[in-house]
Structure 1
Amino acid sequence: MVSKPTRLSAQDWARAALQAIADGGLAAVGVEPLARTLGVTKGSFYAHYRNRDELIAAALAEWGRSHGDESLAAFAAIADPAQRLRDLLTAVVQAVQPLAPSVHLSLLGDRNDPRVQDVVQRVNRARLDLLARTYRELGLSPGRAESRARVAYAAILGLMHLAQTDPDAPRAAVLADEAAAVFLP
């Protein structure tokens, strides 16, 4: 019995494009290479998108949804701000995989592209807003909460960068404990 090939969805293509972006930025998104990676013909692509730009827009929209407000909703719902911050830092640090590519860090290489500027700005704003709100609820003044949120977020991005380049990075659990110790007031 011959199995029928699986029909790919537009979201399958967008996810494959995100992996390509993580591996090599926007320049790595090409219809033919993605089709080869997915084991399909280019016709599958054209069933969902008119061109590469539409695919990039869909991939960036998917990343913005999955890494912005939508992904932060569960954390935002945690009533205790200290627990919220601990859980958020733990989740971020545990998600960082040694030597694994990051869409966010790869997009920074394409930061002059208006599409990238928009989505990175929205994701950054959502993350910074949650961190600043958390620090305000922990008793910091609004200005100090905003500053602490930026420092904490910069550290998170730094941990992501180190994970991409440091095969000897400590275990995630150790980093999560250290991050909580450093960033809880």
Structure 2
Amino acid sequence: MGNESTRLSAQDWARAALKAIAHGGLAAVAVEPLARTLGVTKGSFYAHYRNRDELITAALTEWVRSHGEAGLSQYAAITDPAQRLRELLTTVVHAVQPLAPSVHLSLLGDRNDPRAQDAVRQVNQARLDLLTRTYRELGLPPDRAASRARVAYAAILGLLHLAQTDPAAPHSAVLADEATAIFLPS
């Protein structure tokens, strides 16, 4: 197999662990099955991590990076708040696929694990902060902006949950239009 440790990076392992988490929560992160999935031996793993806990920490750090504040930066950069909200909601709704695994929802099953709690808290906070800021810029007072952000975010998570459990969910384009109509202040 050659020098596996130079072919696969620590980030490759973290991404594979995230896929495992999406499918089965933290319990699904196991070195041997991940090595088989990646087509390498366990030696590749140990070139990057001392143990499974380090891999889980790296995977959750990657998820927070890619789905939290840094992952939202392209939307935060949109200066028109109505356009920002439209693009954010459209992207989220189009990303929701029927029966697709979800890191976020899987981590809710591990909500008693402090690592999962912290990762979900960070991602939730980044998303709520962006939504709240957007609603403030759309003219809502601070308390209403925060409330509207929570309701919009709850709807987004609800759509994600429904997509995981309902293969007959409505087409995402229809949902994107509805989400935008509902959550843009009139």
Using structure 2 for the length normalisation, give the TM-score. 0.96
Matched residue count: 183
1:64 has 2:64 as partner: yes
Distance (Å, rounded) in 1 between the aligned partners of 2:180 and 2:14: 34
Give the % identical residues: 81
Deviations 1:119-158 (A, max 9, x none): 1111100000000011111111100000000000000000
**Runs (4+) of structure 1 moved beyond 2 Å?**
3-6
C-alpha RMSD over aligned residues: 1.2
Partner of 1:25: 25
Task: Find the counterpart in structure 1 of residue 147 from structure 2.
Answer: 147
After the TM superposition, which of the residue ranges 33-42 and 144-153 deviates more from structure 2? Answer: 33-42
Q: Equivalent residue for 1:86?
A: 86
CA separation in 2, counterparts of 1:101 and 1:157?
A: 13
Aligned to 1:115: 115
Instruction: Give 1:156's aligned residue.
Output: 156
Q: 2:57 corresponds to which letter in structure 1?
A: A
**Map of 1:104 onto structure 2:** 104
Amino acid at match of 1:108: L
Q: CA deviation at 1:4?
A: 5.2
User: What is residue 167 of structure 2 aligned with on the other side?
Assistant: 167
Tell me, in whole angstroms, the C-alpha distance in 2 between the residues paired with 1:69 and 1:122.
9
5+ residue gaps, structure 1, are none
- Give the TM-score normalised by the residue count of structure 1: 0.96
Question: For residues 164 and 79 of structure 1, what CA distance do their matches in structure 2 show?
Answer: 33
Q: What secondary structure does 1:79 align onto?
A: coil
- d(CA) in 1 for partners of 2:124 and 2:101? 18
- For 2:46 and 2:92, locate their aligned partners in 1 and report how far apart those are by CA, in whole Å: 36
Structure 1 pair 84/16, CA: closer, same or farther in 2 (3 Å)? same
> Which stretches in structure 2 are left out of the alignment for 5+ residues?
none
For residues 68 and 58 of structure 1, the distance between their equivalents in structure 2, rounded to whole angstroms, comes to 15
The 1-side partners of 2:145 and 2:117 are apart by 24
CA distance in 1, matches of 2:139, 2:70: 26
Aligned to 1:179: 179
